[in-house]
Amino acid sequence: MRSMIVTLIIAFAALGAGSVGSAAVENCRTGDSALCVADPNCHWDFARRGCYQGAAEHEDPCAAHGGKDICNADTTIGCTWSTASNKCEQAK
């Protein structure tokens, strides 16, 4: 009889934990980047290592190029070196 009560308590605790976990994913409060990105209302921030609500900020893909020669050589995504800001930017 006691083992049956213990089993029921464990089963209810597991069900309760499962419902709390799904509510966390619905509100973008998860530590799993795959679950975060699967939700269209959430985005994963790599710098802060977490899941946040809303769309991610646009980041210029050409900003990774630190040198002028590398920047101008990247024709795949259309990078050009800006002399005004002295950095690599995506051509508009």
19-34 mean pLDDT: 69
Average predicted confidence (pLDDT) for the chain? 82
Residue 15, pLDDT > 80, answer no
Instruction: Return the bridge partners of 50, or none.
Output: 45
23-42 mean pLDDT: 82
Identify the pLDDT of residue 17.
Answer: 58
Residues 42, 52: contact at Cβ < 8 Å? Answer: yes
20-45 mean pLDDT: 79
Residue 89, pLDDT > 70, answer yes
Task: Report the C-alpha gap between 9 and 47 in whole angstroms.
Answer: 40
| pTM listed for this prediction | 0.44
Collapsed DSSP state (helix, strand, coil) of residue 64 = helix
Residue 20, pLDDT > 50, answer no
φ, ψ dihedrals at 43, nearest 5°: -140, 150
Residue ranges per domain, the chain?
2-53, 61-90
Task: Report the C-alpha gap between 72 and 43 in whole angstroms.
Answer: 31
Q: How many CB atoms lie within 10 A of CB 39?
A: 15
Task: Report the C-alpha gap between 74 and 88 in whole angstroms.
Answer: 10
48-66 mean pLDDT: 87
